[in-house]
Structure 1
Protein backbone atom coordinates (compact mmCIF):
# COMPACT_ATOMS: atom_id res chain seq x y z
CA UNK A 1 0.00 0.00 0.00
CA UNK A 2 1.22 3.51 -0.76
CA UNK A 3 2.37 5.84 1.97
CA UNK A 4 -0.21 8.56 2.49
CA UNK A 5 -0.70 11.42 4.93
CA UNK A 6 -2.16 10.74 8.34
CA UNK A 7 -5.63 12.20 7.90
CA UNK A 8 -7.52 13.80 10.76
CA UNK A 9 -11.26 13.02 10.62
CA UNK A 10 -12.06 15.89 13.01
CA UNK A 11 -10.20 18.50 10.96
CA UNK A 12 -11.64 17.04 7.76
CA UNK A 13 -15.11 17.33 9.29
CA UNK A 14 -14.77 21.11 9.59
CA UNK A 15 -17.37 22.61 7.26
CA UNK A 16 -18.91 19.17 6.82
CA UNK A 17 -22.09 20.56 5.27
CA UNK A 18 -20.17 22.34 2.52
CA UNK A 19 -17.96 19.30 1.89
CA UNK A 20 -20.99 17.05 1.72
CA UNK A 21 -22.96 19.03 -0.84
CA UNK A 22 -21.04 17.76 -3.92
CA UNK A 23 -21.53 14.17 -2.72
CA UNK A 24 -25.29 14.68 -2.59
CA UNK A 25 -25.27 16.32 -6.02
CA UNK A 26 -23.22 13.41 -7.38
CA UNK A 27 -25.34 10.51 -6.11
CA UNK A 28 -28.49 12.43 -6.97
CA UNK A 29 -27.68 11.82 -10.64
CA UNK A 30 -27.58 8.04 -10.26
CA UNK A 31 -30.89 7.00 -11.81
CA UNK A 32 -31.54 3.59 -10.29
CA UNK A 33 -33.69 2.30 -7.43
CA UNK A 34 -33.08 -1.45 -7.26
CA UNK A 35 -29.57 -1.43 -5.78
CA UNK A 36 -28.15 -4.43 -3.94
CA UNK A 37 -24.38 -3.88 -3.85
CA UNK A 38 -22.48 -0.60 -3.49
CA UNK A 39 -18.80 0.29 -3.06
CA UNK A 40 -17.75 3.74 -1.85
CA UNK A 41 -14.07 4.05 -2.76
CA UNK A 42 -12.34 6.70 -0.69
CA UNK A 43 -15.13 6.81 1.87
CA UNK A 44 -13.30 9.02 4.39
CA UNK A 45 -14.92 9.16 7.85
CA UNK A 46 -18.07 7.41 6.62
CA UNK A 47 -20.66 10.08 7.31
CA UNK A 48 -21.46 10.56 3.62
CA UNK A 49 -21.34 6.83 2.91
CA UNK A 50 -23.98 6.37 5.62
CA UNK A 51 -26.39 8.59 3.67
CA UNK A 52 -26.48 5.94 0.93
CA UNK A 53 -28.53 3.73 3.25
CA UNK A 54 -31.38 6.21 2.91
CA UNK A 55 -31.21 6.02 -0.89
CA UNK A 56 -30.87 2.25 -1.10
CA UNK A 57 -32.08 0.70 2.18
CA UNK A 58 -31.82 -2.88 0.88
CA UNK A 59 -28.27 -2.54 -0.39
CA UNK A 60 -25.08 -3.93 1.09
CA UNK A 61 -22.64 -1.01 1.16
CA UNK A 62 -18.88 -1.31 1.55
CA UNK A 63 -16.71 1.72 2.30
CA UNK A 64 -12.98 1.60 1.55
CA UNK A 65 -10.30 4.17 2.39
CA UNK A 66 -6.50 4.10 2.62
CA UNK A 67 -6.49 5.99 5.93
CA UNK A 68 -6.76 3.85 9.10
CA UNK A 69 -7.78 6.99 10.99
CA UNK A 70 -10.69 7.62 8.63
CA UNK A 71 -11.83 3.99 8.77
CA UNK A 72 -11.66 4.01 12.56
CA UNK A 73 -13.94 7.06 12.61
CA UNK A 74 -16.27 5.45 10.05
CA UNK A 75 -16.98 2.47 12.30
CA UNK A 76 -19.45 4.71 14.13
CA UNK A 77 -21.81 4.23 11.19
CA UNK A 78 -21.23 0.53 10.56
CA UNK A 79 -23.98 -2.07 10.79
CA UNK A 80 -24.86 -5.38 9.19
CA UNK A 81 -25.35 -3.75 5.77
CA UNK A 82 -22.70 -1.03 5.97
CA UNK A 83 -19.06 -2.03 6.50
CA UNK A 84 -15.75 -0.20 6.30
CA UNK A 85 -12.21 -1.36 5.69
CA UNK A 86 -8.74 -0.02 4.94
CA UNK A 87 -7.71 -0.44 1.32
CA UNK A 88 -5.71 1.21 -1.46
CA UNK A 89 -7.60 2.09 -4.64
CA UNK A 90 -4.59 1.07 -6.71
CA UNK A 91 -4.93 -2.44 -5.31
CA UNK A 92 -8.72 -2.61 -5.10
CA UNK A 93 -10.67 -5.04 -7.24
CA UNK A 94 -14.06 -6.70 -7.22
CA UNK A 95 -15.50 -9.71 -8.97
CA UNK A 96 -16.57 -8.72 -12.50
CA UNK A 97 -20.25 -7.79 -12.67
CA UNK A 98 -20.69 -7.92 -8.90
CA UNK A 99 -21.60 -4.29 -8.11
CA UNK A 100 -24.63 -2.16 -8.87
CA UNK A 101 -23.03 1.17 -7.92
CA UNK A 102 -19.49 2.47 -7.38
CA UNK A 103 -19.06 5.91 -5.84
CA UNK A 104 -15.70 7.63 -5.61
CA UNK A 105 -15.91 11.11 -4.14
CA UNK A 106 -13.03 13.60 -3.80
CA UNK A 107 -10.30 10.97 -3.84
CA UNK A 108 -9.11 10.29 -7.39
CA UNK A 109 -7.30 13.64 -7.57
CA UNK A 110 -4.68 12.09 -5.28
CA UNK A 111 -3.98 9.31 -7.80
CA UNK A 112 -1.99 10.26 -10.92
CA UNK A 113 -2.97 6.95 -12.52
CA UNK A 114 -6.68 7.49 -11.98
CA UNK A 115 -7.70 7.02 -15.62
CA UNK A 116 -5.97 3.63 -15.59
CA UNK A 117 -8.35 2.58 -12.80
CA UNK A 118 -11.52 3.23 -14.78
CA UNK A 119 -11.54 -0.07 -16.76
CA UNK A 120 -11.41 -2.04 -13.51
CA UNK A 121 -14.24 0.01 -12.04
CA UNK A 122 -16.43 -0.54 -15.09
CA UNK A 123 -15.61 -4.25 -15.20
CA UNK A 124 -16.76 -4.61 -11.59
CA UNK A 125 -20.20 -3.24 -12.49
CA UNK A 126 -23.05 -5.41 -13.62
CA UNK A 127 -24.59 -4.46 -16.99
CA UNK A 128 -26.71 -1.41 -16.25
CA UNK A 129 -24.62 -0.55 -13.17
CA UNK A 130 -23.45 2.96 -12.31
CA UNK A 131 -20.10 4.62 -11.64
CA UNK A 132 -20.14 8.07 -9.99
CA UNK A 133 -17.01 10.23 -9.72
CA UNK A 134 -16.40 13.66 -8.19
CA UNK A 135 -13.04 15.41 -7.88
CA UNK A 136 -11.99 18.91 -6.90
CA UNK A 137 -10.87 20.95 -9.90
CA UNK A 138 -9.52 23.99 -8.08
CA UNK A 139 -5.80 23.36 -8.47
CA UNK A 140 -5.23 26.87 -9.81
CA UNK A 141 -7.11 28.59 -7.00
CA UNK A 142 -5.15 30.94 -4.68
CA UNK A 143 -5.38 28.38 -1.86
CA UNK A 144 -3.37 25.91 -3.93
CA UNK A 145 -1.12 28.36 -5.77
CA UNK A 146 0.05 29.94 -2.51
CA UNK A 147 0.61 26.52 -1.01
CA UNK A 148 2.79 25.41 -3.92
CA UNK A 149 4.77 28.63 -3.99
CA UNK A 150 5.43 28.71 -0.26
CA UNK A 151 6.33 25.02 -0.01
CA UNK A 152 9.03 25.53 -2.67
CA UNK A 153 10.75 28.39 -0.86
CA UNK A 154 13.36 28.06 1.86
CA UNK A 155 13.47 26.98 4.60
CA UNK A 156 10.43 24.83 3.72
CA UNK A 157 11.52 23.48 0.33
CA UNK A 158 14.00 21.01 1.80
CA UNK A 159 11.08 19.11 3.32
CA UNK A 160 7.94 20.17 1.49
CA UNK A 161 8.75 20.92 -2.14
CA UNK A 162 7.27 17.63 -3.35
CA UNK A 163 4.45 17.37 -0.80
CA UNK A 164 2.32 19.96 -2.59
CA UNK A 165 2.57 18.24 -5.97
CA UNK A 166 -0.69 16.80 -7.26
CA UNK A 167 -1.59 15.32 -10.59
CA UNK A 168 -3.42 17.34 -13.20
CA UNK A 169 -7.06 16.36 -12.93
CA UNK A 170 -9.12 15.37 -15.96
CA UNK A 171 -11.83 17.66 -17.22
CA UNK A 172 -15.39 16.51 -17.87
CA UNK A 173 -14.56 15.91 -21.55
CA UNK A 174 -11.77 13.49 -20.62
CA UNK A 175 -14.15 11.46 -18.50
CA UNK A 176 -16.69 11.41 -21.32
CA UNK A 177 -14.07 10.09 -23.75
CA UNK A 178 -12.60 7.51 -21.37
CA UNK A 179 -15.87 6.11 -20.04
CA UNK A 180 -17.63 6.11 -23.42
CA UNK A 181 -14.76 4.04 -24.78
CA UNK A 182 -15.44 1.54 -21.99
CA UNK A 183 -19.05 1.06 -23.08
CA UNK A 184 -20.81 3.53 -20.79
CA UNK A 185 -23.42 6.22 -21.19
CA UNK A 186 -21.83 9.27 -19.60
CA UNK A 187 -23.12 12.43 -17.95
CA UNK A 188 -20.25 14.76 -17.03
CA UNK A 189 -20.24 18.36 -15.82
CA UNK A 190 -18.47 20.87 -13.63
CA UNK A 191 -19.76 23.22 -10.95
CA UNK A 192 -18.19 26.06 -9.03
CA UNK A 193 -19.63 26.29 -5.53
CA UNK A 194 -19.40 29.57 -3.66
CA UNK A 195 -19.12 28.40 -0.08
CA UNK A 196 -19.72 31.02 2.61
CA UNK A 197 -17.55 29.91 5.52
CA UNK A 198 -17.79 31.13 9.09
CA UNK A 199 -14.93 31.52 11.55
CA UNK A 200 -11.51 33.14 11.66
CA UNK A 201 -9.24 32.44 8.69
CA UNK A 202 -11.82 29.97 7.46
CA UNK A 203 -10.00 28.93 4.28
CA UNK A 204 -6.95 27.93 6.31
CA UNK A 205 -9.14 25.71 8.47
CA UNK A 206 -10.66 24.21 5.31
CA UNK A 207 -7.35 23.37 3.61
CA UNK A 208 -5.73 22.05 6.80
CA UNK A 209 -8.08 19.09 6.44
CA UNK A 210 -7.27 18.46 2.78
CA UNK A 211 -4.65 19.85 0.38
CA UNK A 212 -2.39 21.47 3.00
CA UNK A 213 -2.17 18.43 5.21
CA UNK A 214 0.61 16.58 3.29
CA UNK A 215 2.71 19.75 3.30
CA UNK A 216 2.20 20.46 6.99
CA UNK A 217 3.04 16.87 7.89
CA UNK A 218 6.25 16.97 5.88
CA UNK A 219 7.69 19.79 7.97
CA UNK A 220 9.51 19.59 11.33
CA UNK A 221 7.37 20.97 14.13
CA UNK A 222 9.19 24.30 14.45
CA UNK A 223 8.85 24.95 10.71
CA UNK A 224 5.28 23.70 10.64
CA UNK A 225 4.16 26.44 13.03
CA UNK A 226 6.00 29.08 11.02
CA UNK A 227 4.66 27.78 7.70
CA UNK A 228 1.08 27.69 8.94
CA UNK A 229 1.31 31.27 10.20
CA UNK A 230 2.75 32.55 6.93
CA UNK A 231 0.37 30.52 4.78
CA UNK A 232 -2.57 31.58 6.92
CA UNK A 233 -1.67 35.26 6.59
CA UNK A 234 -1.53 35.00 2.81
CA UNK A 235 -4.81 33.10 2.68
CA UNK A 236 -6.49 35.73 4.83
CA UNK A 237 -5.40 38.33 2.30
CA UNK A 238 -6.54 36.24 -0.70
CA UNK A 239 -9.85 35.32 0.95
CA UNK A 240 -10.79 38.32 3.12
CA UNK A 241 -13.21 37.78 5.96
CA UNK A 242 -16.29 39.95 5.67
CA UNK A 243 -18.98 40.63 8.23
CA UNK A 244 -21.12 37.87 6.72
CA UNK A 245 -18.30 35.29 6.36
CA UNK A 246 -15.52 34.26 3.99
CA UNK A 247 -16.32 33.37 0.40
CA UNK A 248 -14.55 30.30 -1.00
CA UNK A 249 -15.13 29.59 -4.71
CA UNK A 250 -14.56 25.88 -5.28
CA UNK A 251 -14.67 24.19 -8.70
CA UNK A 252 -15.58 20.51 -8.82
CA UNK A 253 -15.76 18.02 -11.68
CA UNK A 254 -18.36 15.25 -11.93
CA UNK A 255 -18.93 12.21 -14.08
CA UNK A 256 -21.74 9.68 -13.78
CA UNK A 257 -21.64 6.69 -16.12
CA UNK A 258 -24.00 3.79 -16.68
CA UNK A 259 -22.55 0.58 -18.07
CA UNK A 260 -24.45 -0.41 -21.18
CA UNK A 261 -26.51 -3.54 -21.23
CA UNK A 262 -25.25 -5.77 -24.06
Structure 2
Protein backbone atom coordinates (compact mmCIF):
# COMPACT_ATOMS: atom_id res chain seq x y z
CA UNK A 1 0.00 0.00 0.00
CA UNK A 2 2.89 2.35 0.75
CA UNK A 3 3.89 2.60 -2.89
CA UNK A 4 0.45 4.04 -3.74
CA UNK A 5 0.84 6.99 -1.34
CA UNK A 6 3.22 9.91 -0.94
CA UNK A 7 4.80 10.31 2.50
CA UNK A 8 3.23 13.78 2.78
CA UNK A 9 -0.06 15.11 1.38
CA UNK A 10 0.24 17.04 -1.89
CA UNK A 11 -2.29 19.52 -0.52
CA UNK A 12 -2.26 20.98 2.95
CA UNK A 13 -5.16 19.83 5.10
CA UNK A 14 -7.44 22.49 6.51
CA UNK A 15 -8.30 23.18 10.13
CA UNK A 16 -11.54 21.17 10.37
CA UNK A 17 -13.12 22.83 13.39
CA UNK A 18 -12.15 26.33 12.26
CA UNK A 19 -13.58 25.70 8.79
CA UNK A 20 -16.74 24.13 10.20
CA UNK A 21 -17.30 27.14 12.48
CA UNK A 22 -16.76 29.46 9.50
CA UNK A 23 -19.35 27.67 7.34
CA UNK A 24 -21.90 27.54 10.16
CA UNK A 25 -21.57 31.25 10.91
CA UNK A 26 -21.27 32.48 7.30
CA UNK A 27 -23.52 35.28 6.05
CA UNK A 28 -23.09 37.19 2.75
CA UNK A 29 -21.91 40.72 3.39
CA UNK A 30 -23.48 41.97 0.16
CA UNK A 31 -26.88 43.34 1.19
CA UNK A 32 -28.38 42.57 -2.24
CA UNK A 33 -27.96 38.83 -1.72
CA UNK A 34 -29.85 36.57 0.66
CA UNK A 35 -28.23 33.37 -0.53
CA UNK A 36 -24.90 32.51 -2.09
CA UNK A 37 -25.83 30.46 -5.17
CA UNK A 38 -23.62 27.49 -6.12
CA UNK A 39 -24.31 25.82 -9.47
CA UNK A 40 -23.28 22.18 -9.95
CA UNK A 41 -22.69 20.91 -13.49
CA UNK A 42 -20.96 17.96 -15.08
CA UNK A 43 -21.53 14.71 -16.99
CA UNK A 44 -24.18 12.11 -16.23
CA UNK A 45 -23.27 9.98 -13.21
CA UNK A 46 -20.73 12.41 -11.79
CA UNK A 47 -22.41 12.61 -8.38
CA UNK A 48 -23.84 16.16 -8.46
CA UNK A 49 -27.02 15.34 -6.51
CA UNK A 50 -25.08 13.04 -4.20
CA UNK A 51 -22.66 15.86 -3.40
CA UNK A 52 -25.51 18.13 -2.31
CA UNK A 53 -26.86 15.29 -0.14
CA UNK A 54 -23.39 14.84 1.34
CA UNK A 55 -23.09 18.53 2.22
CA UNK A 56 -26.46 18.39 3.97
CA UNK A 57 -25.35 15.23 5.80
CA UNK A 58 -22.17 16.99 6.95
CA UNK A 59 -24.06 20.00 8.28
CA UNK A 60 -26.87 18.03 9.92
CA UNK A 61 -24.63 15.35 11.42
CA UNK A 62 -26.64 12.50 9.94
CA UNK A 63 -26.84 10.92 6.50
CA UNK A 64 -29.68 12.35 4.40
CA UNK A 65 -30.77 11.84 0.80
CA UNK A 66 -33.17 14.62 -0.13
CA UNK A 67 -31.93 15.08 -3.71
CA UNK A 68 -32.97 12.04 -5.80
CA UNK A 69 -30.07 9.97 -7.14
CA UNK A 70 -29.72 6.83 -9.25
CA UNK A 71 -26.98 4.20 -9.34
CA UNK A 72 -27.77 3.51 -13.01
CA UNK A 73 -25.75 6.24 -14.73
CA UNK A 74 -26.77 5.68 -18.33
CA UNK A 75 -29.07 8.72 -18.38
CA UNK A 76 -29.39 11.79 -16.22
CA UNK A 77 -31.67 11.19 -13.24
CA UNK A 78 -31.94 14.94 -12.62
CA UNK A 79 -34.41 16.39 -15.11
CA UNK A 80 -35.27 19.72 -13.48
CA UNK A 81 -33.34 22.82 -12.46
CA UNK A 82 -33.66 22.45 -8.73
CA UNK A 83 -32.53 24.77 -5.93
CA UNK A 84 -31.71 23.09 -2.63
CA UNK A 85 -31.52 24.89 0.69
CA UNK A 86 -30.32 23.37 3.97
CA UNK A 87 -32.17 24.01 7.21
CA UNK A 88 -29.89 25.29 9.95
CA UNK A 89 -32.34 25.31 12.86
CA UNK A 90 -36.14 25.37 13.24
CA UNK A 91 -36.24 29.06 12.26
CA UNK A 92 -33.53 29.52 9.64
CA UNK A 93 -31.62 28.11 6.67
CA UNK A 94 -27.97 28.28 5.71
CA UNK A 95 -27.38 31.31 3.46
CA UNK A 96 -26.16 29.29 0.48
CA UNK A 97 -28.10 27.41 -2.19
CA UNK A 98 -27.07 24.52 -4.41
CA UNK A 99 -28.56 24.45 -7.89
CA UNK A 100 -28.54 21.00 -9.48
CA UNK A 101 -28.64 20.51 -13.26
CA UNK A 102 -29.25 17.73 -15.72
CA UNK A 103 -26.01 16.00 -16.72
CA UNK A 104 -24.08 16.55 -19.94
CA UNK A 105 -24.17 13.75 -22.51
CA UNK A 106 -22.17 13.10 -25.63
CA UNK A 107 -24.74 13.70 -28.36
CA UNK A 108 -26.19 17.10 -29.20
CA UNK A 109 -29.81 16.23 -28.41
CA UNK A 110 -29.04 14.38 -25.18
CA UNK A 111 -28.46 15.79 -21.73
CA UNK A 112 -28.61 19.41 -20.70
CA UNK A 113 -28.08 22.16 -23.29
CA UNK A 114 -24.97 24.30 -22.80
CA UNK A 115 -27.09 27.38 -23.48
CA UNK A 116 -29.50 26.39 -20.68
CA UNK A 117 -26.59 26.28 -18.22
CA UNK A 118 -25.44 29.72 -19.42
CA UNK A 119 -28.96 31.10 -18.91
CA UNK A 120 -29.03 29.56 -15.44
CA UNK A 121 -25.76 31.28 -14.54
CA UNK A 122 -27.28 34.60 -15.58
CA UNK A 123 -30.35 33.94 -13.43
CA UNK A 124 -32.94 33.55 -16.20
CA UNK A 125 -33.95 29.94 -15.44
CA UNK A 126 -36.67 29.45 -12.78
CA UNK A 127 -36.52 26.84 -10.04
CA UNK A 128 -38.33 23.71 -11.19
CA UNK A 129 -37.74 24.23 -14.91
CA UNK A 130 -37.75 20.85 -16.67
CA UNK A 131 -34.81 20.54 -19.05
CA UNK A 132 -35.62 19.49 -22.60
CA UNK A 133 -32.63 17.87 -24.35
CA UNK A 134 -34.13 18.62 -27.76
CA UNK A 135 -35.17 22.25 -27.23
CA UNK A 136 -33.27 24.86 -25.22
CA UNK A 137 -34.99 27.32 -22.89
CA UNK A 138 -36.30 30.45 -24.63
CA UNK A 139 -37.17 33.98 -23.56
CA UNK A 140 -40.78 33.31 -24.59
CA UNK A 141 -41.10 30.23 -22.36
CA UNK A 142 -43.18 30.40 -19.16
CA UNK A 143 -41.14 31.31 -16.10
CA UNK A 144 -38.27 32.96 -17.98
CA UNK A 145 -36.80 35.65 -15.71
CA UNK A 146 -36.31 38.63 -17.97
CA UNK A 147 -34.73 40.83 -15.30
CA UNK A 148 -32.92 38.54 -12.82
CA UNK A 149 -31.63 40.04 -9.60
CA UNK A 150 -28.16 39.47 -8.20
CA UNK A 151 -29.78 36.94 -5.87
CA UNK A 152 -31.06 34.98 -8.91
CA UNK A 153 -27.65 34.80 -10.53
CA UNK A 154 -25.01 32.13 -9.91
CA UNK A 155 -22.08 33.17 -7.72
CA UNK A 156 -19.94 30.01 -7.89
CA UNK A 157 -19.69 27.41 -10.67
CA UNK A 158 -18.63 23.91 -9.66
CA UNK A 159 -17.80 21.18 -12.15
CA UNK A 160 -18.42 17.70 -10.74
CA UNK A 161 -16.62 14.70 -12.22
CA UNK A 162 -16.21 11.10 -11.03
CA UNK A 163 -12.50 10.34 -10.63
CA UNK A 164 -12.77 7.11 -12.57
CA UNK A 165 -14.38 8.85 -15.57
CA UNK A 166 -11.73 11.51 -16.20
CA UNK A 167 -9.96 9.37 -18.80
CA UNK A 168 -13.21 7.93 -20.20
CA UNK A 169 -15.17 11.15 -20.79
CA UNK A 170 -15.71 11.95 -24.46
CA UNK A 171 -14.31 15.00 -26.23
CA UNK A 172 -17.87 16.20 -26.85
CA UNK A 173 -18.63 16.35 -23.12
CA UNK A 174 -15.29 18.06 -22.34
CA UNK A 175 -16.11 20.61 -25.04
CA UNK A 176 -19.50 21.37 -23.46
CA UNK A 177 -17.97 21.79 -20.01
CA UNK A 178 -15.21 24.04 -21.35
CA UNK A 179 -17.83 26.18 -23.11
CA UNK A 180 -19.69 26.61 -19.82
CA UNK A 181 -16.42 27.46 -18.10
CA UNK A 182 -15.60 30.09 -20.73
CA UNK A 183 -19.02 31.70 -20.30
CA UNK A 184 -18.54 31.78 -16.52
CA UNK A 185 -15.12 33.42 -16.99
CA UNK A 186 -16.69 36.12 -19.15
CA UNK A 187 -19.24 36.75 -16.38
CA UNK A 188 -16.49 36.83 -13.75
CA UNK A 189 -17.97 33.85 -11.89
CA UNK A 190 -15.38 31.88 -9.86
CA UNK A 191 -14.96 28.24 -10.79
CA UNK A 192 -14.06 25.18 -8.78
CA UNK A 193 -14.23 21.46 -9.43
CA UNK A 194 -14.61 18.30 -7.39
CA UNK A 195 -13.54 14.76 -8.20
CA UNK A 196 -16.08 12.40 -6.63
CA UNK A 197 -16.12 8.64 -6.08
CA UNK A 198 -12.40 8.59 -5.28
CA UNK A 199 -12.87 5.37 -3.33
CA UNK A 200 -14.45 3.61 -6.31
CA UNK A 201 -11.66 4.67 -8.66
CA UNK A 202 -8.87 3.55 -6.34
CA UNK A 203 -9.65 0.76 -3.83
CA UNK A 204 -6.60 1.67 -1.69
CA UNK A 205 -8.41 4.89 -0.77
CA UNK A 206 -11.59 3.08 0.30
CA UNK A 207 -10.15 2.11 3.69
CA UNK A 208 -7.80 5.10 3.83
CA UNK A 209 -10.10 7.96 2.85
CA UNK A 210 -8.09 10.29 5.10
CA UNK A 211 -5.09 9.69 2.83
CA UNK A 212 -6.83 10.91 -0.32
CA UNK A 213 -4.45 13.85 -0.75
CA UNK A 214 -1.47 11.50 -0.41
CA UNK A 215 -2.56 9.13 -3.17
CA UNK A 216 -0.23 9.29 -6.18
CA UNK A 217 -2.77 8.26 -8.81
CA UNK A 218 -5.36 10.73 -7.51
CA UNK A 219 -2.77 13.49 -7.90
CA UNK A 220 -2.35 12.36 -11.51
CA UNK A 221 -6.14 12.42 -12.00
CA UNK A 222 -6.30 15.97 -10.67
CA UNK A 223 -3.55 17.03 -13.09
CA UNK A 224 -5.29 15.26 -15.99
CA UNK A 225 -8.61 16.86 -15.08
CA UNK A 226 -6.91 20.24 -14.88
CA UNK A 227 -5.45 19.87 -18.36
CA UNK A 228 -8.74 18.69 -19.88
CA UNK A 229 -10.97 21.37 -18.34
CA UNK A 230 -8.42 24.17 -18.10
CA UNK A 231 -8.96 24.79 -14.40
CA UNK A 232 -6.07 25.19 -11.93
CA UNK A 233 -5.18 22.10 -9.84
CA UNK A 234 -5.53 24.08 -6.61
CA UNK A 235 -9.21 24.66 -7.50
CA UNK A 236 -9.92 20.92 -7.79
CA UNK A 237 -10.98 19.01 -4.67
CA UNK A 238 -11.31 15.33 -3.82
CA UNK A 239 -14.63 14.13 -2.41
CA UNK A 240 -16.26 10.91 -1.35
CA UNK A 241 -20.04 11.28 -1.29
CA UNK A 242 -22.25 9.50 1.21
CA UNK A 243 -23.84 6.59 -0.64
CA UNK A 244 -23.70 3.26 1.21
CA UNK A 245 -23.02 4.76 4.65
CA UNK A 246 -25.76 5.10 7.26
CA UNK A 247 -23.75 7.31 9.63
CA UNK A 248 -21.55 10.33 9.03
CA UNK A 249 -17.80 9.80 9.09
CA UNK A 250 -15.13 12.29 10.18
CA UNK A 251 -12.75 11.54 7.30
CA UNK A 252 -15.48 11.79 4.66
CA UNK A 253 -16.71 15.00 6.26
CA UNK A 254 -13.21 16.50 6.15
CA UNK A 255 -13.02 16.16 2.36
CA UNK A 256 -16.53 17.56 1.85
CA UNK A 257 -15.89 20.48 4.21
CA UNK A 258 -12.64 21.42 2.47
CA UNK A 259 -14.48 21.76 -0.85
CA UNK A 260 -17.49 23.51 0.69
CA UNK A 261 -15.38 26.12 2.46
CA UNK A 262 -13.65 27.07 -0.80
CA UNK A 263 -17.01 27.34 -2.56
CA UNK A 264 -18.30 29.72 0.08
CA UNK A 265 -15.15 31.85 0.26
CA UNK A 266 -14.87 32.03 -3.54
CA UNK A 267 -18.48 33.12 -3.86
CA UNK A 268 -18.10 35.66 -1.08
CA UNK A 269 -15.03 37.14 -2.79
CA UNK A 270 -16.99 37.39 -6.06
CA UNK A 271 -19.90 39.20 -4.38
CA UNK A 272 -17.58 41.61 -2.59
CA UNK A 273 -15.72 42.46 -5.81
CA UNK A 274 -18.83 43.39 -7.79
TM-score by length of 1: 0.33
Q: Could you say which structure has the larger radius of gyration? A: 1
Kindly indicate which of the two structures has a greater share of residues assigned to strand: 1
TM-score (norm 2): 0.32
**Relative contact order, CA 8 A, sep 6+: which one is greater?**
2
